[in-house]
Structure 1
Amino acid sequence: MIAAEDTVLVLLAAGKSARFGDVGSKLNEPFLTRPLGLHVAVALEAVPFKQRVAVTSPRCTIDYTPHGFTVIGNDDPVGDMASSVRLGVACAEALGAKAVLLALADMPRVTASHIYRLLDAADSADAVVASSDGVSPKPPALFARAHFDTLCALSGDQGARDLIRAGRHVVTNAAELIDVDTPEELEQLRELVHAPEALTLPGTRRHERPTV
């Protein structure tokens, strides 16, 4: 295993929210009384990471610093989407981390127990351990230090998909790995967990249903 104390958490929160519409950043949208993009940060507060890094864009108005994060700004995540990964991994390398855990801020249901399972499954100095819903691998994903150079060489819209596919996969409930890309997906998630916003926010299906 790789200890949490030797791992830097990199929270990627600089996405362009292209499929969500003209909202600035979908991460600012309310979900269960707090911004959508804050849930992962709160869920992992008790995990004793070596350091926490949030890579954000000017569109995201969430303040991650009260939750123990060092915030790195990415002013042009649209032109070079892999730049957020590079910024986060470079920070982890400078801190002397043995591994980096890449998590997405638009996956609000990730739990600390699942993160510990990823850490436990890292059984070598060149480990890659990704999450899976039983169908396909995806973030959160853990990369040992041996892969830092590869991650720092990513460019454009190139991601770490090839590394993730070739790595070890830890299966969890598909509901834990829901990511939110569209307003419809956020509304479905609100209804799934009976979020109060599903009843109170204008434009949601349950809000618009006539009462009998």
Structure 2
Amino acid sequence: MRAALVLAAGQSRRFGAADKLLTPVEGGPMLAHALEAARAAAGLRLATVSSEPVAALVRAHGFQPVPVPPGAPQSASLRAGLAAARQHGATHLLVLLGDMPFVQATDVAALLALAGTEAACATDGTTPLPPAVFPEALFAALAGAQGDRGAGALLREIPAARRLTLPPDRLRDIDRPEDLRAGP
């Protein structure tokens, strides 16, 4: 069984006082776009959260919130989501970032088709990036992720043939308000 995990427990420190995941982007909260991109990809839908407003949005989109302590690094979010997926018997984990609102459902579908039963990730033509899919054989390595880079080391190990090249504007993650003004 494949699980979709949207990492949405960050603190948005560089964005300012507002919770960036709830900031309007193209007609809806930023996070809603990532949730919709992942919706059809898996029967088990999980999202890590560290605030109740984000948890409410996650539930409204049919995802199960996985609580993470506020201020925890991205790797803690990844480990918590992986643990929840394992509890439900997941054999593959699709990981998306809640602050990448321009990834589309068609991108996710193409990534899953490319992956088959192996690991795969997106790339802007240079750097391996989320979204990414990991088979159960890599779960132990994912569980060992540390710091704010999460699965970055594992992404770099994915062969070029299993990296889906997408337009860089769709792979932008939003860290600061000016990142939104750049526009896709």
TM-score (norm: length of structure 2):
0.89
Match of 1:87 in 2: 80
> Contact between 1:50 and 1:97, CA under 8 Å: does it hold in 2?
no
Structure 2 counterpart of 1:155, one-letter code = Q
* Aligned residue among 15, 24, 28 for 1:20: 15
Query: Are 2:49 and 1:56 aligned?
Result: yes
**What count of residue pairs does the alignment treat as equivalent?**
180
Matches within 5 A, 1:119-158: 119-124=112-117, 127-158=118-149
Q: Residues of 2 paired with 1:17 and 1:67: CA distance?
A: 21
* % identical equivalent positions: 33
Query: Which residues of structure 1 form unaligned runs of 5+?
Result: 1-5, 193-212
Match of 1:182 in 2: 176
Match of 2:30 in 1: 36
> Contact between 1:57 and 1:75, CA under 8 Å: does it hold in 2?
yes
Which string of whole-angstrom CA distances, capped at 9 and with x for unpartnered residues, describes residues 63-102 of structure 1? 21122101111123x2443110001111111111120011
Q: Residues of 2 paired with 1:156 and 1:145: CA distance?
A: 22
Displacement after TM superposition at 1:48 (Å): 4.8
SS of the aligned residue for 1:102 comes to strand
Query: Are 2:61 and 1:70 aligned?
Result: no
> Contact between 2:8 and 2:48, CA under 8 Å: does it hold in 1?
yes
Displacement after TM superposition at 1:143 (Å): 0.5
Displacement after TM superposition at 1:31 (Å): 1.3
Match of 1:107 in 2: 100
Structure 1 counterpart of 2:83, one-letter code = A
> Contact between 1:7 and 1:49, CA under 8 Å: does it hold in 2?
yes
Task: Classify 1:106/1:60 alpha carbon distance in 2 versus 1 (closer, same or farther; 3 Å).
Answer: farther
* Aligned residue among 148, 152, 157 for 1:161: 152
Rg larger in structure: 1
Query: Are 2:1 and 1:10 aligned?
Result: no
TM-score (norm: length of structure 1):
0.78
Q: Which has the higher helix share?
A: 2
Structure 1 counterpart of 2:92, one-letter code = A
- Aligned-residue RMSD, C-alpha: 1.8
> Contact between 1:12 and 1:85, CA under 8 Å: does it hold in 2?
yes
Query: Which residues of structure 2 form unaligned runs of 5+?
Result: none
Which string of whole-angstrom CA distances, capped at 9 and with x for unpartnered residues, describes residues 91-128 of structure 1? 1111111200110011111111111221112244xx22
Displacement after TM superposition at 1:51 (Å): 0.4
SS of the aligned residue for 2:93 comes to strand
SS of the aligned residue for 2:110 comes to helix
